[in-house]
Amino acid sequence: MPIRIADTRDEVRSPERRALLETFSFVTQQPQLIHLHTEEFSAVCPGTGLPDIGTLDIWYIPSDRCIELKSLKMYLFSYRNAEIFQEPVADLLFEDLWTVLLPRYMRLSLRYNIRGGILTTVHIARGNLEDLPKEIQRLIP
């Protein structure tokens, strides 16, 4: 099998995949930092064809919507057979979640299990932390 070194985002990006994400209305007086964590995110390395397994952490402060967890699980599971490198998949995850939630702030970290002796973590964040109470700012890693 030839090694495929390519950014496959355009092949993997899908409106049907994003449509799996469901939200529910949520408004609160006090901003809440919501942390979602799984150690079971997986996709397929396009270079080797082997599964990549990683830890995914998402922190977000909702504006007026929260993610429904079963839909998030199904969305994440939809990547299991997708051939995509870690950096592009982190980008897609962030893009889709940001689009459906439109949060005040969001941070995503995707850490793949060590392969070849190199531990890699991708971090993406968006939003203005200065608009948040100091107590909430201190909770964000």
**Active-site annotation holds for 10:** no
User: Is pTM, for the whole model, over 0.85?
Assistant: yes
Residue 45 falls in the annotated catalytic set: yes
All domains of the chain in start order, with CATH: 9-137 (3.30.1130.10)
Q: What is the pLDDT of residue 56?
A: 98
Q: Quick: pLDDT tens for 26-85.
A: 988 888 999 999 999 999 999 888 899 999 999 999 999 999 999 999 999 999 999 999
Looking at residue 138, its pLDDT comes to 86
Q: Which of 52, 57, 91, 96 is catalytic?
A: 52
Compute and round to an integer the Cα radius of gyration of the chain: 16
Predicted confidence at residue 1, as pLDDT, reads 54
